[in-house]
């Protein structure tokens, strides 16, 4: 497949993935005299101490998230205490890496570049980049397994679930400059995956970038697909601005379980059909998207106008993310095929069947697999879901229709 038919944006990252070490964290608890009643995810990360406080709160609750850090020096100092690996991140890049494993390439839109990026980008993928010079602003990625224990001072807890946390101070992604040639590239594209607005922190800048992306999307061919992957917004109210500006141009609006619950302001029992049904109704009231996709550890579903077209794409997303969970970055086609033969989660299957039966075709749900590994990879699972979703969607692509794209809200 021509890599220019699939365009993924808007920015990639250089990631420092650290190897979990409870002993290091316990040493920091003692060094900084951190107490159990201080643990919170909401304190500004202006120091290494504050980073540890928030990290411990995430791990204690078994949830993931993304936090802004006052300076990259905090990341350098903290990550240097651990074993670490340098990888590429960002939704578009991780999705592209996953797709390339199955032989599908794409064109990436990047906002920063350096030798790490040039060396590690997936073979066969093209890229356009808005950066005028090289720069490196690393993202700290911390993943933890269920059952890891931290015990020091009056702090003593065990993580109930595996997850990951991202810490970053990344000016190129925060500015999110759009490459001049993006519109030309999109004029012949079948799919455009959009992510990255969540790190912008300037209101005027955000409006400028949204206006530019809206204009570029309008140059896409009729019949093309715009896929938006949500993320934790550094300034939460900006999520509403993004939706107000480009929601009518988005075909599929996707998010994970943490993001769904953050929008709702409450937890959701992901295996309780009635609670999930209520949550989806509440979510659609907040985000009146043409088609919503929610991907979780038990199931993934699509609800809305195009849900009926997305069963294979949902299955591709689940299989790809599950393969990464089990095998990490270096998974193979054989690993992917093996995961696809695993048993599915019974509770997820029952919930999906019940929801589909209730909604008369407006909901499609696919159960997750039963995964058993002592070394799970929790980094980049949502990004990898996106890659699997788009890869499966691409298999069924028709040649672009003639004419220009009509925004969904304006279509007849």
Q: What is the per-residue pLDDT for 401?
A: 56
Q: What is the per-residue pLDDT for 206?
A: 97
Q: Kindly give the interhelix angle for 346-359 and 273-286, rounded to the nearest 10 degrees.
A: 60
> Which is it for strands 225-229 and 155-158: parallel, antiparallel or unpaired?
unpaired
More confident residue, 72 or 348: 348
Question: To the nearest whole number, what is the mean pLDDT of the chain?
Answer: 93
CA distances from 150 to 11, 74, 331, 373, 374 (A): 34, 21, 30, 21, 18
Distance CA 244, CA 113 (A): 31
Distance CA 382, CA 91 (A): 8
Return the percent helix, strand and coil in the chain, to nearest 5. Answer: 45, 20, 35
Residue 360 has pLDDT above 90, yes or no: no
> Which is it for strands 84-89 and 163-168: parallel, antiparallel or unpaired?
unpaired
Residue 406's pLDDT band (cuts 50, 70, 90): low
- Alpha helix segments (H runs only) across 34-109: 48-61, 72-79, 91-101
Portions of the chain given CATH number 3.30.1110.20: 15-87+138-168
Residue 368 has pLDDT above 60, yes or no: yes
DSSP state at residue 90: S
- How many other C-beta atoms lie within 10 A of the C-beta of residue 183? 17
Q: Extract the tokens encoding 208.
A: 């400028």
Distance CA 273, CA 256 (A): 17
CATH entry 3.30.1110.20 includes domain 15-87+138-168: yes
More confident residue, 405 or 38: 38
- Of 377, 366, 252, 364, the C-alpha closest to 322 is 377
Portions of the chain given CATH number 3.40.1190.20: 3-13+89-133+171-404
Q: What is the per-residue pLDDT for 232?
A: 81
- Any idea which residue has 């990898």 for tokens? 384
* 264-319 pLDDT per residue, tens: 999 999 999 999 999 999 999 999 999 999 999 999 999 999 999 999 999 999 99
Residue 408 has pLDDT above 60, yes or no: no
Instruction: Spell out a b/e string for 49-70, using b for 16 or more CB atoms within 10 Å of the CB, else e.
Output: bbbbbbbbbbbbbbbbbbbbbe
Q: What is the per-residue pLDDT for 188?
A: 95
Write out the DSSP string of 328-361.
Answer: GGG--HHHHHHHTTSPBPHHHHHHHHHHHHHHTT
Collapsed DSSP state (helix, strand, coil) of residue 156: strand
Cα 128–chain centre separation:
21
Instruction: Spell out a b/e string for 150-175, using b for 16 or more CB atoms within 10 Å of the CB, else e.
Output: bebeebebebeebbbbbbbbbebbbb
- DSSP H/E element including 401: none
The size of the chain, in residues, is 412
* 11-57 pLDDT per residue, tens: 999 999 999 999 999 999 999 999 999 999 999 999 999 999 999 99
Distance CA 137, CA 73 (A): 10
DSSP state at residue 187: T
- 3-13+89-133+171-404 maps to which CATH number? 3.40.1190.20
* 215-263 pLDDT per residue, tens: 999 999 998 999 999 988 878 899 999 999 999 999 999 999 999 999 9
Whether 8 and 108 have beta carbons less than 8 Å apart is answered as: yes
> Which is it for strands 13-18 and 84-89: parallel, antiparallel or unpaired?
antiparallel
Give mean pLDDT, residues 135-148.
92
> Which is it for strands 225-229 and 252-256: parallel, antiparallel or unpaired?
parallel
Q: What is the per-residue pLDDT for 1?
A: 59
Q: What is the per-residue pLDDT for 4?
A: 76
Distance CA 344, CA 366 (A): 9
Distance CA 190, CA 167 (A): 33
Distance CA 60, CA 64 (A): 11
Q: What is the per-residue pLDDT for 227?
A: 98
> Which is it for strands 299-304 and 84-89: parallel, antiparallel or unpaired?
unpaired
Give mean pLDDT, residues 74-79.
96
Whether 251 and 290 have beta carbons less than 8 Å apart is answered as: yes
Residue 412 has pLDDT above 50, yes or no: no
* 311-352 pLDDT per residue, tens: 999 999 999 999 999 999 889 999 999 999 999 999 999 999
Q: What is the per-residue pLDDT for 398?
A: 56
């Amino acid at each position: 497949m021509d890599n220019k038919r699939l365009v993924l944006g808007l920015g990639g990252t250089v990631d420092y993935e650290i190897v979990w070490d409870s002993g290091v964290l316990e040493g920091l608890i003692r060094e900084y005299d951190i107490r159990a009643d201080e643990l919170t995810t909401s304190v500004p990360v202006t120091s290494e101490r504050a980073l540890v406080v928030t990290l411990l709160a995430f791990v204690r609750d078994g949830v993931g998230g993304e936090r802004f850090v006052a300076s990259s020096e905090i990341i350098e100092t903290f990550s240097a205490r651990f074993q670490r690996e340098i990888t590429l991140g960002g939704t578009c890049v991780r999705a592209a890496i996953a797709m390339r494993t199955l032989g599908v390439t794409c064109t990436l839109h990047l906002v920063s570049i350096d030798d790490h990026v040039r060396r590690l980008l997936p073979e066969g993928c093209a890229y356009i980049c808005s950066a005028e010079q090289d720069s490196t602003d690393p993202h700290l990625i911390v993943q933890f397994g269920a059952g890891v224990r931290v015990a020091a001072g009056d702090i003593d807890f065990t993580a109930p679930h595996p997850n990951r946390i991202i810490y970053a101070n990344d000016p190129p992604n925060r500015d999110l400059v759009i490459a001049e040639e993006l519109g030309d590239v999109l004029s012949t594209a079948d799919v455009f995956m959009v992510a990255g607005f969540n790190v912008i922190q300037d209101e005027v800048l955000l409006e400028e970038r949204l206006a530019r992306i809206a204009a570029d999307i309008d140059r896409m061919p009729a019949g093309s697909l715009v896929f938006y992957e949500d993320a934790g917004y550094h300034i939460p109210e900006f999520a509403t601005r993004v939706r107000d500006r480009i929601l009518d141009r988005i075909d599929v609006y996707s998010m994970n379980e943490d993001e769904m619950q953050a929008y709702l302001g409450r937890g959701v029992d992901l295996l309780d059909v009635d609670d999930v049904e209520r949550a989806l109704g509440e979510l659609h009231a907040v985000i009146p998207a043409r088609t919503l996709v929610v991907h979780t550890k038990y199931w993934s579903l699509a609800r809305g106008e195009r849900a009926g077209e997305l069963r294979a794409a949902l299955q591709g997303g689940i299989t790809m993310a599950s393969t990464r969970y089990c095998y990490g970055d270096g998974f193979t086609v054989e690993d992917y095929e093996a995961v696809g033969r695993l048993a599915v989660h019974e509770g997820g299957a029952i919930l999906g069947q019940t929801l589909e039966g209730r909604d008369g075709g407006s909901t499609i749900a696919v159960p997750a697999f039963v995964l058993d590994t002592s070394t799970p990879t929790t980094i980049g699972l949502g990004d990898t879901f996106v890659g699997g979703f788009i890869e499966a969607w691409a298999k069924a692509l028709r040649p672009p229709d003639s004419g220009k794209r009509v925004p969904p809200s304006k279509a007849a």
